[in-house]
Each structure stands twice: as structure tokens, then as C-alpha cells.
């Protein structure tokens, strides 16, 4: 028998359909160029520590002590660790019988889930049940688990914002569901357009799709917009009327750079609304240690909180979580620390607060620098980054540029981004990786390069862009 073991043709079709541009073509090309010795500025993924942001000190001290508990027995430990870090390490070790090396409860260490619940209660003013909070190896795993539970077949549709973080489109492809897009309004600073959303749902239903859930990303990725309380009410009412479970990706809740619309959780608004809606709308809320001012992407710490999910469904979700045995324990401790950080009066508070504020203030400044920088470029229009970690400028490509791109077999924004990469070393992700209106092109970059590098980066970009636009200018218009 001469059968080949596994050919490309024999792969699961859903796997082949998956796309994830964040580490796709542009990133792979950038990596190749880097190997050849070119200096690359990776702005393709929200990965703050990779661009020089330092970890907060206190969590690293605590986790190091938990990692090597023999340090706690040493009389000299107080020379290099502050007393509150030592106490906190003991607090987590007491919660985790067997320490960092044992599988915990499949939902995560109960004591840490309690800290998460307490954080949510303080943030929103409503009690939260630790039993309905599941820690995961990063928020992405939780998103995958929930979408996998919801999607039965290709007639199950999930409402996803366009532009979106392509984990959602990738997961929907992988699980064989249907992505039902709802377009954010670029002219209204990427605002929600419920009329458009209703139309999408109606169109999907007329095609035989059962729309099951709605994803919101607040603050938005790649778009950065922060939803207002009124928006959240609209969305929750919409989910109630249309019988949708709301998947609220709130991983950027610490990253807010304007004061008009501070972060409000979907859960808080739901409970504020009261009445039957507050008891019936099903909501899953996601958070992570990867973003905010913590930026601890490499730890893979996250959680999801379930609201109004029936007990039998929770049992099924528990069952799936149990197959993975447990989320990584150090990541769980990072989550506990984020939910329960040093308080005023604690020895480490001042340093923690200073480090945190410095990062947030810098992100706020960089959001502005980048927005202004893009807006100063020819044929580039950029909404302000109200939150999250990205800038998503619109690149108005001349017809000749689009034609040249297409004859090179490339989407126009991919073509532009490759040229940008080759000219400047700036590695971005083309807007097509996130979704955009037909014929309107963007790129996503992060606001994460070090502040001192920003002016040079923006001027390098402008130089490339303006000369690109000059090169491809459609002179027939003149």
C-alpha cells in the first residue's frame, strides 16, 4: 500500500480556511528580513514587553518567590524582597496546595477566582460569583472554548465587528460556523451603527443563518474606540430582543486615553438596567494580564466570567475545561495580583503606582503622537486611538497603486505594507487582516514602540508614505 500519511489535500478544510494575519504574511516577511540583518520594528502584535516596556516589579517578585519557595526559608530573603511581596507569595502558596507545580482546580485556584470576583465587585458595584469565573491560559483560550460550545454547524452565525481582532474570524472558521459582520462607522470614530447591525442580522437570517451571539471588543481592537454607556445599553437591549449571547472582550479595559468615555463593563450596564433583561441576557466577559499596563503577554493569564448562563451549560463548559486539566499556575497568580494589586499603605504601593502611571501616561501620549503623525501624512486619515494599543489609519491609495498591487497578485493594503516594511523596517498588519469596507484600506500598527523612538518612526513612515503617494499619484486627475 503506497498511501501517503498526510497530504495537504487531506487536511481538515476548516483548518485551511483559518487566517490570522497578525502573524501572517507581513510578519513572516519581516522575520525573513530580520534574519538577513535588517532592523525591524515589530508593530504587528500588542506585545508591550517586546518593545521595551518593563514588567511591573511587584508581581515579578511575588511569582519568583512562589517559583522557588526555598527562598522564603532563607534568613536573607528580606534583603532582596520587600516584606509585602514575601507575604503575598505566602498567601498564594497557601492557596495552591502543591505550589506552582500542581494542576489546580480546572477552573483555576479558588482563592484567585475569589480575588477576581472581588475586583469585579469593586469595579462594578455588583457581587460576582467566583464559581462562574474560569481562569484560562490567556483570554484567547476562553474565547475558543465559548465559541466551540456555541457553534454547532455552518448555519450558526456569530456577529463580529468589522474591523475585528482576527481571533474571532479564525475561531469561527476553525469551528465551522458563519461570521456575520457588523460594520463600525469610521466616520463616527468607529462608532457602533445598530441600523447596520440589524440589517446584517436580517440578511443572515434570510440566508438561513441562526445568529447565536454578538462579539463586542471594548475598548476596540484594532479600532480603539470606547463604547459609551448608551451604546452598551443599546447593545444589551439588542441582544435581549434578538436572543443573542453577548461575548464582551474587555481585555483593554485599563487602556483608555480619553476622559469622555471611561471604561464601563457590559456586566455593570446589564445590572444597572435591572428588570427581566438583567436576569436573562447571557453574557460572557473576558479579561487578561496581557494588556493594560501590565502587558504580561508571555504569562498566558486570563479569565472569563459567565452571567445568566444556565447551570447545565456551565457543567458542560466545566467538562471541557477539565480536559485541559488546569490553566498554568504562575499565570493564575499574575491574574490574582492584577485583580488585587498593592494598596496605599503597602510597602510596594508607591513603586507599583509610579510604574503603572508612568506606563499609562506614556501610552496616552503615544496614542496622540501616532494619531497626529498619521494625520500629517498625505492621503492618510486616522481616527484617534481612544483606547487599546493600536492605531488603524486609513490609507487612501491612488488608483495606480491599487492596479500595480493587483497585477502583482496582492491586495492593495498588503502591497503598501510590504513596501513600507522594505523601506523602513516597520512591520504592520494590513487592514484586510481585520476586515474593512470594500475598497477602503487600512493598516494596523501598535502604539507600543518606546516614546523616544516615536518621532523617528513617524517621520520614517511619513517619508515613505508621502513618496509612495507621489510615485503612484494619478496624474490624470490633475
Distance CA 360, CA 337 (A): 18
Which is nearer to other proteins, 67 or 340 (by Cβ)? 67
Exactly one of 152, 343, 406, 463 binds other proteins (CB under 8 A); which one?
152
Size of site (CB under 8 A) for other proteins: 102
- Give the nearer residue to other proteins in terms of CB position, either 211 or 380: 211
Site membership for other proteins, residue 196 (CB under 8 A):
no
Judged by CB under 8 A, does residue 202 bind other proteins?
no
CB of 333 to other proteins, least distance (A): 10
CB atoms under 10 Å from CB of 182, counted, come to 21
Task: Out of 114, 116, 119, 140, point to the residue binding other proteins (CB under 8 A).
Answer: 140
Question: Which residues have C-beta within 8 Å of that of residue 432, sequence separation ≥ 6?
Answer: 21, 411, 413, 414, 441
Q: Report the residue number, 74 or 474, with the smaller CB distance to other proteins.
A: 74
Question: What does the angle CA 322 – CA 335 – CA 448 come to, to the nearest 5 degrees?
Answer: 120
State the minimum distance, in angstroms, from the CB of residue 396 to other proteins. Answer: 30
Choosing from 25, 29, 33, 71, the residue that interacts with other proteins (CB under 8 A) is 71
Per CB under 8 A, the list member of 32, 74, 361, 470 interacting with other proteins is: 74
Residues 212-241 that bind other proteins (CB under 8 A): 212-213, 240
Euclidean distance between CA atoms 109 and 332, whole angstroms: 7
HSE-up of residue 71 (Cα within 13 Å, Cβ side): 22
Query: What would the grid cell of residue 363 be?
Result: 501610552
Of the two residues 8 and 475, which places its CB atom closer to other proteins in the complex? 8
Verify binding: residue 313, other proteins, rule CB under 8 A: yes
CB of 55 to other proteins, least distance (A): 5
Contact (CB, 8 A) for 380 and 443: no
Q: Alpha-carbon distance 426 to 443, whole Å?
A: 11
Give helix 399-407 / helix 454-472 axis angle, nearest 10°.
90
**SS3 assignment, position 423:** helix
Binding piece for other proteins, criterion CB under 8 A, among 147-155, 262-270, 344-352, 457-465: 147-155
Residues 34-53 that bind other proteins (CB under 8 A): 45, 47-50, 52
Name the residue nearer to other proteins (CB basis): 22 or 269: 22
Handedness of CA 76, 81, 82, 84 (dihedral sign): negative
Select the residue interacting with other proteins from 87, 325, 408, 440 (CB under 8 A).
325
Rg over CA atoms, the chain: 23
List all residues 6 or more positions away from 122 whose beta carbon is below 8 Å from its beta carbon: none
Least distance from C-beta 383 to other proteins, angstroms?
26
Among 141, 261, 287, 442, binds other proteins (CB under 8 A): 141
Cβ-based burial of 28 (10 A; exposed 0-12, middle 13-18, buried ≥19): exposed
Q: For residue 158, what are the CA distances in angstroms to 240, 245, 433?
A: 15, 9, 18
Q: How near is the Cβ of 352 to other proteins at its closest, in Å?
A: 14
Q: How far is the CB of 240 from other proteins (least distance, A)?
A: 7
- Our finding on whether 452 is near other proteins (CB under 8 A) is no
CB nearer to other proteins: give 180 or 226. 180
> What is the distance between the alpha carbons of residues 67 and 61, in angstroms, rounded to a whole number?
10
* Minimum CB distance to other proteins, residue 194 (Å): 19
287 near other proteins (CB under 8 A): no
H or E element at residue 83:
helix 83-95
Interacting residues with other proteins between 80 and 139 (CB under 8 A): 80, 96-104, 106, 137-138
Cβ-based neighbours of 344, under 8 Å, separated by 6 or more? none
What is 160-229 written as a DSSP string?
A: EEES--THHHHHHHHTT-EEEEEE-BGGGTSB--HHHHHHHHHHHHHTT-EEEEEEEESS-TTT-----H
To the nearest whole angstrom, how small is the minimum distance from the Cβ of residue 21 to other proteins? 10
Q: Is 455 in the site for other proteins (CB under 8 A)?
A: no
Does residue 3 touch other proteins according to CB under 8 A? Answer: yes
- The footprint of other proteins on residues 234-273 (CB under 8 A) is 240, 243-245
**Choice between 262 and 310, CB closer to other proteins:** 310
Q: Are 386 and 219 in contact (CB under 8 A)?
A: yes
Interacting stretch for other proteins, rule CB under 8 A, among 73-81, 373-381, 391-399, 469-477? 73-81
Residue 120: name the closest of 277, 339, 332, 344 by CA.
339
Q: Closer to other proteins by CB, 167 or 232: give it.
A: 167
User: Applying CB under 8 A, which part among 76-84, 119-127, 200-208, 463-471 lies near other proteins?
Assistant: 76-84
Q: Which of residues 381-410 bind other proteins (CB under 8 A)?
A: none
List the one residue from 121, 122, 203, 319 that touches other proteins (CB under 8 A): 319
Q: Which of 221, 328, 348, 391 binds other proteins (CB under 8 A)?
A: 328
Is residue 204 close enough to count as binding other proteins by CB under 8 A? no
Amino acid at each position: 500500500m503506497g498511501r501517503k500519511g498526510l497530504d495537504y489535500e487531506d487536511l481538515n478544510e476548516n483548518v485551511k480556511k483559518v487566517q490570522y494575519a497578525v502573524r501572517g504574511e507581513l510578519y513572516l516577511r519581516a522575520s525573513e528580513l530580520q534574519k538577513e540583518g535588517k532592523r525591524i520594528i515589530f508593530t504587528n502584535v500588542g506585545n508591550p514587553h517586546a518593545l521595551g516596556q518593563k514588567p511591573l516589579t511587584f508581581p515579578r517578585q511575588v511569582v519568583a518567590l512562589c517559583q522557588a519557595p526555598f527562598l522564603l526559608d532563607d534568613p536573607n530573603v528580606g534583603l532582596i524582597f520587600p516584606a509585602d511581596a514575601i507575604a503575598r507569595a505566602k498567601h498564594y502558596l497557601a492557596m495552591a496546595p502543591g505550589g506552582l507545580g500542581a494542576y489546580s482546580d480546572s477552573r483555576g485556584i479558588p482563592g484567585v477566582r475569589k480575588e477576581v470576583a472581588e475586583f469585579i465587585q469593586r469595579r462594578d458595584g455588583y457581587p460576582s460569583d467566583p464559581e462562574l469565573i474560569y481562569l484560562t491560559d490567556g483570554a484567547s483560550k476562553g474565547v475558543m472554548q465559548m465559541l466551540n460550545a456555541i457553534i454547532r454547524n455552518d448555519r450558526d452565525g456569530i456577529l463580529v465587528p468589522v474591523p475585528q481582532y482576527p481571533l474571532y474570524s479564525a475561531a469561527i472558521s476553525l469551528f465551522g460556523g458563519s461570521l456575520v459582520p457588523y460594520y463600525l462607522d469610521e466616520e463616527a470614530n468607529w462608532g457602533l451603527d445598530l441600523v447596520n447591525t440589524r440589517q446584517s442580522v436580517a440578511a443572515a437570517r434570510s440566508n438561513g443563518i441562526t445568529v447565536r451571539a454578538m462579539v463586542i471588543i471594548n475598548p476596540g481592537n484594532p479600532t480603539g474606540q470606547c463604547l459609551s454607556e448608551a451604546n452598551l445599553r443599546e447593545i444589551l437591549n439588542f441582544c435581549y430582543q434578538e436572543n443573542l449571547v453577548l461575548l464582551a472582550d474587555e481585555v483593554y479595559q485599563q487602556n483608555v486615553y480619553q476622559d469622555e468615555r471611561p471604561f464601563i463593563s457590559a456586566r455593570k450596564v446589564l445590572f444597572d438596567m435591572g428588570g427581566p433583561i438583567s436576569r436573562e441576557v447571557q453574557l460572557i466577559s473576558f479579561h487578561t494580564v496581557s494588556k493594560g499596563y501590565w502587558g504580561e503577554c508571555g504569562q498566558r493569564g486570563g479569565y472569563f466570567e459567565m452571567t445568566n448562563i444556565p447551570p447545565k451549560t456551565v457543567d458542560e463548559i466545566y467538562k471541557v475545561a477539565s480536559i485541559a486539566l488546569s490553566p498554568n499556575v504562575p499565570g493564575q497568580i499574575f491574574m490574582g495580583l492584577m485583580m488585587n494589586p498593592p494598596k496605599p499603605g503597602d510597602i510596594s504601593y508607591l513603586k507599583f503606582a509610579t510604574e503603572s502611571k508612568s506606563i499609562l501616561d506614556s501610552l496616552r501620549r503615544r496614542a496622540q503622537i501616532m494619531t497626529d503623525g498619521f494625520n500629517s501624512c498625505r492621503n492618510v486619515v486616522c481616527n484617534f486611538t481612544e483606547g487599546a494599543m493600536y492605531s488603524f489609519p486609513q490609507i487612501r491609495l491612488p488608483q495606480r497603486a491599487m492596479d500595480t498591487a493587483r497585477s502583482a497578485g496582492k491586495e492593495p493594503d498588503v502591497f503598501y505594507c510590504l513596501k513600507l516594511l522594505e523601506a523602513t523596517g516597520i512591520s504592520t498588519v494590513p487592514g484586510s487582516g481585520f476586515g474593512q469596507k470594500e475598497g477602503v484600506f487600512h493598516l494596523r500598527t501598535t502604539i507600543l514602540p518606546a516614546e523616544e523612538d516615536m518621532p523617528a518612526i513617524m517621520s520614517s513612515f511619513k517619508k515613505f508614505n508621502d513618496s509612495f503617494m507621489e510615485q503612484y499619484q494619478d496624474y490624470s486627475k490633475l
